[in-house]
A and B are shown apart, each in its own frame.
Chain A
Amino acid sequence: MSKKTLFDKVWDSHVVDSIENGPQILYIDKHLIHEVTSPQAFNELENRGIPIFRPNQIVATADHNTPTLNQDQPVKDALSRHQLEQLSINCKKNNITLYELGHKYNGIVHVMAPELGITQPGITMVCGDSHTSTHGAFGTIAFGIGTSQVAQVFASQCLLLTKPKSLRVTVNGKLKKGVLPKDVILYIISKLGTNSGTGYFCEYAGNVFEEMSMEGRMTVCNMSIEMGARGGMIAPDQTTFNYIKNREFAPKGEAFEKKVAYWKTLPTDEGAAFDKEYHFDAADIEPMVTYGTNPGMGIKISDTIPVEENPSFKKSLAYMDFEAGESLINKPINYVFIGSCTNSRIEDFRVAANFIKGKKKADNVTAWLVPGSKQVETQIIDEGLKDIFTEAGFELRQPGCSACLAMNDDKIPQGEYCVSTSNRNFEGRQGQGSRTILASPLVAAATAIEGKIIDITKHLN
């Protein structure tokens, strides 16, 4: 029998049919939707008189466009309110489960689905959001789609796709103190660039990922799209099974054991071939920060910005108001954001709280903490982390995508830097004229305390 990768096994088991010299029909098990990229797809089907094929395989949440304050009150912004109402109407009309604002299961789509046990190994998942790659942490084929494709899945529970090529990134060795999963993925992207993964599905392998928690694995897979890969995957193992067990929608009892037996067959066969492979040494990774306007423009926190002649590179530095060759250490920072589908899980807030405990944020800093879901919010309160944050002067908001993409009111002002745990540092991503520096929750917390970027590695030792 031919040797197969994790990706091959899951993909091949979902092929309904293949068009000669063309794409394949791929079956989709779970379809997650939200308010921003679904309304036009609902309209499309309605206009063409096509019913939703499998409404019970769709789960909806409101996250992109929701306020993070006063969620019990009507949404002030009329356009946002209309979009949220439209989602409610569409879901009701089509019998789709919706965790709307205020629901105990509401949250960022890529935080709420895993914590409810909706995300499981060996299945295919899509969502009209590029960070759907997050769910690959479970050994799931999960990827972002456009709204036309949302309509296709509505109509047929399938997509027409050409099978992507395979890529494996292996990181072995021991991570240094203070190096978090976010640093690992920022490091990988800084080495490989923002388009090295385009056309590929990426598997992350090596002891570094094997030893990571599910939260950490989700952070890594989340940013696969930032190197262009449609999705990232990590082989399911005991850590995965333990995480899923007893979650709301996870199979229970004997059914769970049967699933686990199947999930254990999914990891890549020894000797299976990948189209492209990269290897990195964990010991070379340090806490990372970005200095430019794409996630590939990252450096070790103690390094200096590289010098390049490329006009796009120069345009990027001019936007950030940074000089080639300079260090970011001691740069004053007035905004810190801990949140987004990359880093808004309980583990991220524990890391931040652990550093912050007993300290006060710097006077110049506005620090927003935005949990990824209602469940994470509850956990933050139950574990006593909220008190630590409040005493330190941080502001704990209600769940949502928030300042990651600044669709709601959570915007960073023009010209201001924000050290952010989110996934994109594009121009204006966090508000018109805002300047984003991507980092781990630990670096973000330390920045808020100091009011400037510090060399966290020295601080920890």
Chain B
Amino acid sequence: MEKFRTLTSTAIPLNIENVDTDQIIPARFLKATDKKGFGDNVFRDWRFHKDGSINESFILNNKVYSGSILIAGDNFGCGSSREHAAWAIGGYGFKVVVSSFFADIFKGNALNNGLLPVQVSKEFLEHLLQDVTSNPETLVKVNLEQQTIAIEGSDLSEMFAIDPYKKTCMINGYDDIDYLINNKKLIEAFEANKIY
């Protein structure tokens, strides 16, 4: 897993609530047996019309906006457990997703793939969406060590929460498998003494 400490980038505002994982990566693209290539099809049916032509009105196709931070509406990533959604967003080039609320499984999947979910207050999200939409050059600064997100050139910033264990994993690029395997003795002891 890639390490993550800080990131300063322009951002893309996706002002839609309840973005589900079927929108992030439609099921028909889940037939691959490796993790590569999903970025090409992220938000496929919002980026393209059914005939394959580009949907110019979708924000990802608006060349004015770019950057490796995605700012999305409330309850991002609901629906299916497909980790392909995190692979698709990461594969497209995003390193951070900001929302006022994340669905559980998506959040876990993102953290397991070095994609940082930053949960902010509804008010801060409003500000972010407004600032970035009106000025696409706006720089957003995310600092994982300090757990802060700020709009550069303004005094607007906010702290965000993250599980301390997951934070260490993200900063160092560790994953859970290493930790679990190192605890095999404990696991075997548990198996030998199950109470149920």
Contact = CB atoms under 8 A, between A and B. Distances in A.
A25 B79 contact: no
A198 B163 contact: no
B180 A432 contact: no
Interface string A116-155: 0000001100001110000000000000111111011001
Contact of B81 (A40, A145, A310): A145
Given A27-B187, A36-B30, A145-B105, A156 B196 contact: no
A239 interface: no
Nearest to B165: A22
B59 to A, nearest CB: 13
A202 B3 CA distance: 35
A197 to B, nearest CB: 9
Contacts of B73: 312
A199 B104 contact: yes
B35 interface: yes
Contact of A148 (B101, B112, B190): B112
Interface residues of B, number: 56
A428 interface: yes
Contact of A315 (B16, B30, B181): B16
Chain A residues touching B, range: 35 or more
Contacts of A195: 18, 74-75, 78, 101, 103
Nearest to A296: B18
B75 A21 contact: no
A16 B183 contact: yes
B45 A427 contact: yes
Contact of A198 (B33, B34, B101, B164): B101
Interface string B174-195: 0111011101101100110011
Contact of A146 (B79, B86, B163, B165): B86
A310 B18 CA distance: 12
B37 to A, nearest CB: 12
Looking at B31, B103, B184, B186, which has the most chain A CB atoms within 10 Å of its CB?
Answer: B31
A130 B82 CA distance: 8
Contact of A194 (B18, B22, B105, B195): B18
A156 to B, nearest CB: 4
A424 B17 CA distance: 16
Interface stretch (A77-85, A280-288, A386-394): A77-85
Contacts of B82: 36-37, 146
Interface in A159-215: 159-160, 162, 194-195, 198-199
Nearest to B17: A312
A426 interface: yes
A407 B104 contact: no
B63 interface: no
Contacts of B66: none
Interface of A: 10, 13-14, 16-17, 19, 21-23, 25, 27, 36-37, 39-40, 43-44, 48, 50, 53, 64-65, 77, 79-80, 82-83, 86, 122-123, 128-130, 144-149, 151-152, 155-160, 162, 194-195, 198-199, 225, 228, 230, 262, 294, 310-312, 315, 405-407, 414, 424, 426-429, 432-433
22 contacts: A13-B196, A27-B187, A27-B194, A37-B82, A43-B34, A44-B177, A83-B33, A128-B81, A130-B81, A146-B108, A146-B112, A149-B108, A156-B187, A195-B103, A198-B101, A294-B78, A407-B27, A426-B22, A426-B79, A428-B22, A432-B50, A433-B45
Interface of B: 15-18, 20, 22-23, 26-28, 30-35, 45, 50, 73-75, 78-84, 86, 101-105, 108-109, 112-113, 163-165, 175-177, 179-181, 183-184, 186-187, 190-191, 194-196
Given A146-B82, A311-B15, 8 more contacts: A16-B186, A36-B31, A50-B177, A130-B80, A152-B180, A195-B74, A428-B45, A432-B28
